[in-house]
Chains A and B, each alone.
Chain A
Amino acid sequence: MTSAAETIAAPRRSGPGALTRAWRAVRYHALTVYALIAFAYLMLPIAVVVIFSFNDPIGRFNFTWQSFTLENWTKPFAYPGLQDAVVTSLEIAALSAIVATILGTLIGLALVRYQFRGGGTTNFLIFLPMTTPEIVMGASLLTLFLNFGVPLGFGTILLAHIMFNISYVVVTVRARLVGFDRHLEEAAMDLGANELVTFRRVTLPLIAPGILAAGLLAFALSVDDFVITYLNAGAVVTFPLFVWGAARVAVPPQINVIGTAIFMVALLLMLANILWQWRRAGR
């Protein structure tokens, strides 16, 4: 599809003078240079995080480069409390991703596959959490828990994470469902499969990549969340909360190690996803 558009978009005109052509070339490359600088700007802090995971800081703050060491990587959990925080984060992320993916996928299916009254309201309700500042969402939830005397902790964090993840799952799944070929389901039904069998054997395998992508997104959002978690965590510490608490008294390089590891895993998963799309498109 892209290549077709590009063929159309490359008109060959004869005529413009050398000066005009030179000016065009400058402008063409000016945009490229601008883009490269912008990419460098985007990558700079990431590079800093990765490089400083190999730093051997003097004192408690890992802000200035001292000397290269592998020790942070060989002992990533050397800092007290860090391991528990990471484990808590992963548990909450896994649980909230699973629940939010199920709830969100069902909503996505309903929105794309059925005409029903209340669709607009549903869309609005899905859209609202994504455009509400986190501090407001976190504050509202906290007032709910405070008014009912719910003890803050693992459970309240989990509820909060499921809540903000649902919308992102709906949007992701819906985007994949829109291009879905309904004829395949009709064919299955014509061949005598009932609706549940059709869903399990035809629909689900086809939308599985979308569901998987949504689940991964939910997992990533959960691992990264700070504001809502911070307000509703009580005494429980997740990885971002650990970084926050540590930042006042110390920034150990182990934080960079965990940050780099999370970055690498997410990047590899996304790259795998892109390669998969390329292979599918190539077929």
Chain B
Amino acid sequence: MGFIHRHKGLVPYVLLFPGLAFLALFFVVPTYYLANTSLQSGDIFSGYVFTWAWENYSNAISTYHPQLLRSFQYAGIATIVALLVSYPLAYWIAFRGGRWKNLLLLLIIAPFFVTYLIRTLAWKTILEDDGFVVNTLQTIGVLAEDGRLLATSVAVVAGITYNFLPFMALPIYVSLEQVDERLVEAAQDLYASKARAFLRVTLPLSLPGVFAGTLLTFIPAAGDFINAQLLGTPRQFMIGNVIQSKFKVIADYPEAAALSFILMATILVLLIAYVRALGTERLSV
């Protein structure tokens, strides 16, 4: 007991050590090996050796820039759609939810309780060629007679949007929930219309949630390959599909590592810009 008293300053470090050591060993150190692997050359039979093989990067970009571009495109569209669906929903729960708020939030995260792959396969059932959705869209003329949704980019983006929507809705809800309604009222007392009060008071106050939500949706969406694999075809494949097949199917580890690094670097640039602007405290809701 006396020991704790004498070395009080050490206590937090003792508490931190096991967990941070684990993260260092299995999150930080692997990043080094990813970088190392990305600069190796050779082949799977004779083995890969480190040779500063920068051409892995140029080869990766020149061969797979369509998939890379598509990843950020799909992720961007999915993020915007998720935002448009989530914001009003989060607003409704925060301001009209009353005592049911927690229950309504549970409904928002309910999709997470269904195994990711299974809920994506459920979209396959919903968007099926002869299914209700496709038939309806054909009847009202949005889709041609022989038009389909499965195996198109629409299906892939729809799947991504659905799968990451809770990541968008939750942070927005948290920031809206913290908005002091007296401020909105004050704006209205000062003759701001409801719309104006929303645009000038509520919306700016909820922006941290919007930023957090967009990042938490965009980042996993950009790296996703399950939706493209299950709902699309190779023409919809994203960078994640390329990385996983290089690791698991053709065992081209260096180029797979280079692609992972390119993906991470692009995302990290966005992330650092975000952290500079807002600070991590706000994101960790």
Residue of B9, B125, B128, B280 most packed against chain A (CB within 10 A):
B125
Are B1's CB and A195's CB within 8 A? yes
Are B113's CB and A262's CB within 8 A? yes
In the assembled complex, the CB of A52 is this many whole angstroms from the nearest CB of chain B, namely 7
Segment among A66-74, A121-129, A179-187, A204-212 that sits at the interface with chain B: A121-129
Are B119's CB and A103's CB within 8 A? no
Question: A66 vs B1: C-alpha distance in the bound complex, in angstroms?
Answer: 69
In the assembled complex, the CB of B212 is this many whole angstroms from the nearest CB of chain A, namely 10
Question: A134 vs B230: C-alpha distance in the bound complex, in angstroms?
Answer: 18
Contact of B30 among A133, A141, A170 (CB under 8 A): A141
- Please, which residue of chain A has its CB at the minimum distance from the CB of B130? A64
User: Is B232 an interface residue when CB atoms closer than 8 A count as contact?
Assistant: no
Contact of A171 among B184, B222, B263, B284 (CB under 8 A): B284
Cβ–Cβ < 8 Å partners of A5 in chain B: 181
Cβ–Cβ < 8 Å partners of A49 in chain B: 114, 118-119, 122
In the assembled complex, the CB of B42 is this many whole angstroms from the nearest CB of chain A, namely 13
Cβ–Cβ < 8 Å partners of A18 in chain B: none
Segment among B14-22, B62-70, B140-148 that sits at the interface with chain A: B14-22
Contact of B256 among A8, A63, A139 (CB under 8 A): A139
User: Is A58 an interface residue when CB atoms closer than 8 A count as contact?
Assistant: no
Given A31-B88, A134-B220, also A45-B247 (CB < 8 A): no
Cβ–Cβ < 8 Å partners of B22 in chain A: 103, 162-163, 166
User: Is A194 an interface residue when CB atoms closer than 8 A count as contact?
Assistant: yes
Given A2-B98, A124-B280, A141-B30, also A106-B260 (CB < 8 A): no
Are B115's CB and A259's CB within 8 A? yes
Interface residues of A in 136-195 (CB under 8 A from B): 136-137, 139-144, 146-147, 159-160, 162-163, 166-167, 170-171, 174-175, 194-195
Given A45-B126, A131-B271, also A137-B27 (CB < 8 A): yes
User: Is B92 an interface residue when CB atoms closer than 8 A count as contact?
Assistant: yes
User: Is B185 an interface residue when CB atoms closer than 8 A count as contact?
Assistant: yes
A-side binding surface: helix, strand, loop or mixed?
A: helix
Digit string of B86-100 for contact with A (CB within 8 Å is 1, else 0)?
101101110110110
Are B222's CB and A133's CB within 8 A? yes
Contact of A134 among B86, B112, B215, B223 (CB under 8 A): B223
Cβ–Cβ < 8 Å partners of B77 in chain A: none
Contact of B165 among A42, A171, A247 (CB under 8 A): A42
> Nearest 7 pairs between A and B by C-beta?
A133-B223, A140-B30, A103-B19, A114-B12, A45-B122, A266-B113, A110-B15
Q: List 26 A-B contacts (CB under 8 A).
A: A2-B98, A3-B99, A32-B92, A38-B89, A42-B108, A43-B110, A46-B110, A48-B126, A63-B124, A113-B12, A122-B20, A124-B280, A125-B28, A130-B216, A134-B220, A136-B264, A144-B33, A146-B33, A166-B19, A166-B22, A171-B284, A195-B4, A220-B112, A240-B117, A255-B118, A267-B113
